Amino acid sequence: MWAVMPIVLLIAGRYFGVTLTQSTAVVHSLRRRTIQWAEIQAIHMEPYQGTRTVVIYEAGGRRTRLRAPLSGFLAWDSGFDEKFHTIGMWWLEHRGPDWAAVPPPSAFGKGASAPPRDPFAPPA
C-alpha cells in the first residue's frame, strides 16, 4: 500500500491546478470552480503546512487555495514563482476596466484593513 500511494498521488496531482482564460480562472480541485477575474480582489502566495501555495481572494471574502502550483520540501517546484507571477499578471491584464477594489473583509491579510500594495507579491 505504501508503494502504491505515491503513484496514486502523482497521477491525481496532474488534475489539480488552474486554467487561465480571458474572463475566468478555472480552479481544478476535487470540484471544479470558475472565478471571474473581475470578482478577484487579490492573489497572494502564502505558507501552508510547510509549503507555499497560491491563494485567490474574492470580493465576497471567499479564499480559494489552489492545489497547484505549490512548492515545499517534498514537492519542490522550481517554477513556482514564475507560475505565481503568471497567475497574478493574468488577473491584472484581464480583470477589466470596470474592476474596483472592494473594502476587504477581515480575512484579507488576517485582520489588516487592506491587502498589500502589490497584491501578488510574496509576504515581507
Domains observed in the chain: 15-96 (2.30.29.30)
40-48 and 33-36 strand pairing? unpaired
- The number of beta carbons lying within 10 Å of the beta carbon of residue 96 is 11
pLDDT of residue 6: 61
C-alpha to C-alpha distance for 73 and 69, rounded to whole angstroms: 14
In what helix (H) or strand (E) does residue 19 lie, and over which residues does it extend? strand 17-20
C-alpha to C-alpha distance for 97 and 47, rounded to whole angstroms: 31
pLDDT of residue 112: 47
Predicted TM-score (pTM) of the model is 0.69
C-alpha to C-alpha distance for 65 and 68, rounded to whole angstroms: 9
pLDDT of residue 90: 92
Which residues of the chain have a pLDDT value below 50?
Answer: 107, 111-113, 122, 124
